[in-house]
Amino acid sequence: MIRLSKSVIGQDEIKAITRVLQDEFLGMGVEVQKFEEELSTFFGRETICVNSGTAALQLALQATDIKRGDEVLVQSLTFLATFQAISAIGAIPIPCEVYENTFTIDLEDAKSKITTKTKAIIPVHYASNVGNLDDIYEFANKYNLRIIEDAAHAFGTKYKNRRIGSFGDIACFSFDGIKNITSGEGGGVVSNDAAVIQKIKNLRLLGVENDSDNRYQNKRSWDFDVVEQGWRFHMSNIMAAIGRSQLKKFDLFKAKRQLLAKHYVERLGKIDGLKIFDFNYDEVVPHIFVVRILRGDRDDIREKLQNEGIQTGIHYKPNHLLSFYKTNYTLPLTKKYYSEILTLPLHPDLSLENVDDVCDTLLSKL
């Protein structure tokens, strides 16, 4: 079986976890502080760690004062987590179309859905590509919206030679098991807005003011104040230990993911009935590799691949089709893309031969 995705774990992670276990301090402590320092160096900006990418998005929204009933523009074609993070704080996700050649948010469609309640836009860096991020920032500035980048796919990706997260308003990353780096589960928020960072530091620890700094000294706050609803969203030392090992290996993961994606492009770039994205894999560090099957038999092909031992995925079921997120918007383009998309196996333990196997099998079914 060629797996769609998997965690790639070695002796370093095992040693790192063992060290934390032997210290018998498993919760949030020095290890988390060190992971945050290393990430802050990586991005050149302060990074706060939480226990998932979903939590990162939710806290970023809350920290920018998005309130119950406020509206957030977001593409429908994203992982459910993006929508759940918005509704978790009582805000309303407004589902938007995506551009065909990037699957990033369609700004004309987004513009037509702006109301007096619109407070933010969440661009999703689909398949690790950011589209025209300058246009998104220009749009947001024009309409006075906060920008919370869902960069869950885009750890390490660059835009115009700068790392995602190293510039802009707020970027949220995921370190779940199959993302570009993992901390078991986990997430991070990067921003240069000191007020947002400070708020998230408190919100992840039940809103207890300044508890983070005590925890970093392996202490707790026994006398404290709370001024708003907080959450148990902090990261543990065990998670941070895995994350620190993975961060050290990121250059290897990155090179491998880019190499495999380039090989897919070489093999599948000019095939009738198949469409691939024209991403720059010198800048993009791909989390997933998505193709479009244009002849209407995606499900058929997917089943045939499965029968020959090749796992594939569908990223994603559009959120506007879910009962919980129903609106009057129908999004015909997104619905069409949903019927065409197929995600092929991609993870650092795959070989070029594996990619050839996937391509040969796929091409034989078209």
- Which spans of this chain sit near ligand PLP (rule: CB under 6 A)? 52-54, 78-79, 81-82, 124, 150, 152-153, 174, 176, 187
82 versus 245: smaller Cβ distance to ligand PLP: 82
SS3 label, residue 322: coil
Instruction: Tell me whether residue 80 or residue 359 sits nearer to ligand PLP (CB atom).
Output: 80
The nearer residue to ligand PLP, 172 or 274, going by C-beta atoms, is 172
Q: Which secondary structure element, helix H or strand E, spans residue 290, and what is its range?
A: strand 289-293
Between CA 118 and CA 278 the distance in angstroms is: 32
Residue of 200, 187, 218, 214 lying closest to 26 (CA atoms): 218
Nearer to ligand PLP, 106 or 274 (CB): 106
Task: Please say whether the beta carbons of 28 and 234 come within 8 A.
Answer: yes
The Cα 237–Cα 30 span in angstroms is: 7
Contacts of 118 (CB under 8 A, 6+ apart): 70, 71, 72, 73, 94, 143, 145
Considering the complex, state which of residue 164 and residue 362 has its C-beta at the smaller distance from ligand PLP: 164
Rounded CA gap, 58 and 43, in Å? 21
Q: Tell me the closest approach of the beta carbon of residue 176 to ligand PLP, in angstroms.
A: 4
Pairing of strands 170-174, 289-293: unpaired
Task: Write down the least CB distance from residue 29 to ligand PLP, Å.
Answer: 21
At how many degrees (to 10) do helices 80-88 and 53-63 cross? 40
Q: How far is the CB of 95 from ligand PLP (least distance, A)?
A: 14
Q: How far is the CB of 282 from ligand PLP (least distance, A)?
A: 22
Q: Measured in whole angstroms, how far is the alpha carbon of residue 293 from the centre of its chain?
A: 24
Nearest residue to ligand PLP on Cβ basis:
53
Shortest Å distance, C-beta 254 to ligand PLP? 17
CB of 236 to ligand PLP, least distance (A): 14
Q: Based on CB atoms, which residue is closest to ligand PLP, 91 or 274?
A: 91
Least distance (Å) between residue 181 CB and ligand PLP: 12
Please say which residue, 43 or 233, places its beta carbon nearer to ligand PLP.
233
Distances (CA, A) of 360 to 2, 3, 343, 357, 364: 13, 16, 15, 5, 6
Distance CA 313, CA 347 (A): 13
